Every structure is written in structure tokens, then in C-alpha cells.
Structure 1
Amino acid sequence: MSTDAFDTELERRLQLLESPEDNGMILPDLPLRDIVLCAVGLAAGTLLLLWWCL
């Protein structure tokens, strides 16, 4: 990424953070599918570790 492109993107994001009337998002929300997969993976990993330590 060139320095000019980086500076432009940084300025845009700073403006979004500092602008009280703008409701723009810097990054989009995670999809619900990804959150559910993480929760299931963590639960399965926890159960596997609990079973292993018994």
C-alpha cells in the first residue's frame, strides 16, 4: 500500500471516529454465521479438553 493511499484511508477513518453526526462504520459487523461457528468451536474445544483431563 502506498503512503498516499494509507494516509487517505487513515484520514477517512479518523473522520468517521470524530464525526458525531455520522453513523458510518469503520469495519462491517461480523456475519452471524462466523460468531456461531466461533461459539460452537469454543464449546467443542472446551468439552474435548475436559474429556481429555478426566
Structure 2
Amino acid sequence: MNISILLRHSGIWESEVRYERYKSDGIVVGENISYVNLISAIAIELNIDKLKKNVEI
């Protein structure tokens, strides 16, 4: 089974619960993906260098 994940990024936190003016991307991963591989898949999709930036989910 595959899982679709919506990524919202490059926006501004207007409050603790409101994220505005963001861009949307998405990835599809298998249900058995590890946390480390999920972080890597997100970083690759968003062109993030994990050595320079921290990815939090």
C-alpha cells in the first residue's frame, strides 16, 4: 500500500496554528518506509541539503 503525503513549505507562521502563503508539493511512499528514509524523501523532493538544514516532521 502506498501513502500520499502533502508537503506545505516556504510559508510564514501567522500564529501557532496558521501557516500562510506556503507552497504545496507531495510525495508517495510505501507504508513500510522508515523514519530516516521518509526524512530523506522529503529532503530530496524539496531540494534540501540535510547537512545544512534540519528537516522536522
Please, what TM-score do these two structures have when normalized by structure 1?
0.28
More helix by share: 1
Q: Whose radius of gyration is greater, 1 or 2?
A: 1
